[in-house]
Amino acid sequence: MPSATATNGRETLASIAYQRLLDDIVGGRLQPGTKLRLQFLTERYEVGNSPLREALNRLSAIGMVQREENRGFRVSPASADELSELIRTRCWLEETALRESIRRGDAAWEEGVLVAYHRLSKRNRLSDEQYVSFDGTWEDLHRAYHLSLLSACDSSILLGFCAQLHEQTLRYRNLSSMKDYRDRHELDEHRTIRDAVLDRDADAAVELLRSHYRVTGEIVLASGSLS
CB 76 within 8 A of CB 32: yes
Last residue of a domain, one of 75, 94, 124: 75
Does residue 91 share a domain with residue 48? Answer: no
What would the mean pLDDT of 102-107 be, rounded to a whole number? 97
Does residue 9 share a domain with residue 90? Answer: no
- Give the type of residue at 115: V
Q: What is the rounded distance in angstroms from the CA atom of residue 139 to the CA atom of residue 216?
A: 14
Q: Which pLDDT band, with edges at 50, 70 and 90, does 85 fall under? A: very high
Q: Which pLDDT band, with edges at 50, 70 and 90, does 221 fall under? A: confident
Does residue 93 share a domain with residue 71? Answer: no
Last residue of a domain, one of 56, 75, 94: 75
Angle between helices 186-198 and 80-104 (to 10 degrees): 30
Q: What does pTM read for this prediction? A: 0.82
Does residue 117 share a domain with residue 11? Answer: no
Tell me: the pLDDT tens digits for 125-160? 654 444 444 567 888 899 999 999 999 999 999 999
Give the chain's domain count. 2
Structural domain boundaries, residue 43: 4-75
- Give the type of residue at 180: D
Residue 140: CATH number of its domain: 1.20.120.530
Question: What is the DSSP code (8-state) at residue 154?
Answer: S
Does residue 197 share a domain with residue 85? Answer: yes
Query: What's residue 10's pLDDT?
Result: 46
Mean per-residue pLDDT of the chain:
86
CB 59 within 8 A of CB 74: no
Query: How many Cβ atoms from other residues are within 10 Å of residue 182's Cβ?
Result: 10
